[in-house]
Amino acid sequence: MLAMPGQSYRGPFLPLSVQEQEIAKLTHGHIQVLAGDIGERNLLWQEENLRDAAHYIENVFTNLGYQVTSQDYLVHNKPVKNIIVELKGTMNAHEIIIIGAHYDTVFGSPGADDNGSGVAALLELARLIKGQQTKRTIRFVAFVNEEPPFFQTPHMGSFYYAKSLKEKNEKVVAMLSLESIGYYDLEKKSQHYPFPFSYFYPNTGDFIGFVANIASRPLLSQVISSFRKHASFPSEGVAAPSAITGVGWSDQWAFWQQGYLALMITDTALFRNPNYHLASDLPNTIDYSRLARVINGLSAAILDLSEH
């Protein structure tokens, strides 16, 4: 449950590469638009902002050269959408890797970390991977309605989408949920955990976490091993029962319900970030340099995964 392949990086960082500098610049721009200009975005309280966020994501994907599709459905007689683009595989195109992030926020929060950081990473990964030749299909999906009151209900965007994939018998070989990945704290005792993980993991919130249910452990091992090979960045992983607090708290949960292998990539949100679900979750609280290092490492790990 706890042992992971490879080792978490410990040591000084090299200066950001040219590519990482570009990632940091672009993610800052995305998060500024989503959490600074648009702000709180959800169906029940800020419906227009939710639509504005969707339009922004669609425009970025389009400008990257993708053909954008959407999965439209109604919630309380109001239209909502999941936003989808894909890079078709060259050999095993029927095997699909899904990279997902939710673009809505909780009531009262502009959501820079939760989940502007995840959406910014989704957009950057789509940019970095565009034009690559991959054996498997890589699909990038921005999900609506992850936050309460739709969390873990049939109205949750990822649940609606995963259910439709299962109904169409699509072969999803992996799903990675990008959930709050931009907040880091270098102080001791800045990191907290649900019981009993504090006995096994570091108390400094400077790492990126990889979280899976028990069934998804093989995927977790593969992804974190690849990330550690490519990224000089602290990382921790766990495969644990989904009933443990926090383990199923994002869109990977929806894919578990359909029997797919899925994991969450996260800064652990409320277990580290004091701005979680508050009005203070603002763009200036994000560590863009660390976020860029994480995204760069994830792009390499996803490409590795796509070659199997």
pLDDT digits (tens, 9 = 90+) for 106-117: 999 999 999 999
Confidence of residue 1 (pLDDT cuts 50, 70, 90): low
Is 0.85 surpassed by the pTM of this model? yes
48, two tokens: 């227009």
Task: Give a yes or no: residue 178 inside a domain.
Answer: yes
What band does 4 get if pLDDT is binned at 50, 70 and 90? confident
Q: Mean pLDDT throughout 113-142? A: 98
Q: How confident is the model at residue 302 (pLDDT cuts 50, 70, 90)?
A: very high
- Residue 287 belongs to some domain of the structure: yes
- Cis-peptide, bond into residue 196, ω within 30° of zero: yes
Q: What is the pLDDT of residue 38?
A: 99
Length of the chain in residues, anyone?
308
Question: Over the chain, what is the mean pLDDT?
Answer: 97
CA dihedral 254, 256, 261, 264 (to 10 degrees): 60
Q: Range of 294's domain?
A: 18-306
User: How many structural domains compose the chain?
Assistant: 1
Roughly how many angstroms between the first and final C-alpha of the chain, as a whole number?
24
What is residue 153's predicted lDDT score, i.e. its pLDDT?
96
Q: Give the mean pLDDT of 98-113.
A: 99
Work out the average pLDDT over 156-182. Answer: 98
Q: How far apart are CA 230 and CA 305, in angstroms?
A: 13
Residue 196 has pLDDT above 90, yes or no: no
**Could you tell me the CATH number of the domain that includes residue 264?**
3.40.630.10
Helix (H), strand (E) at residue 209: strand 208-212
Q: Please give the average per-residue pLDDT across 23-51, as a whole number.
A: 98
Question: What does the pLDDT average to over 188-217?
Answer: 94
**For the segment 270-285, what is each residue's pLDDT rounded down to a tens digit?**
999 999 999 999 999 9
Residue 23: inside a domain: yes
pLDDT digits (tens, 9 = 90+) for 283-301: 999 999 999 999 999 999 9
The answer to whether position 13 is within a domain reads: no
Q: Average pLDDT, stretch 51-76?
A: 98
Task: Reply yes or no on whether the pLDDT at 308 is more than 90.
Answer: no
The answer as to whether 179 is a domain residue is: yes
Residue 84 scores a pLDDT above 70: yes
Q: Tell me what pLDDT residue 5 has.
A: 86
Helix orientation angle between 118-129 and 18-31, rounded to the nearest 10 degrees: 140
Q: How far apart are CA 115 and CA 100, in angstroms?
A: 11
pLDDT reading at 2 higher than 80: no
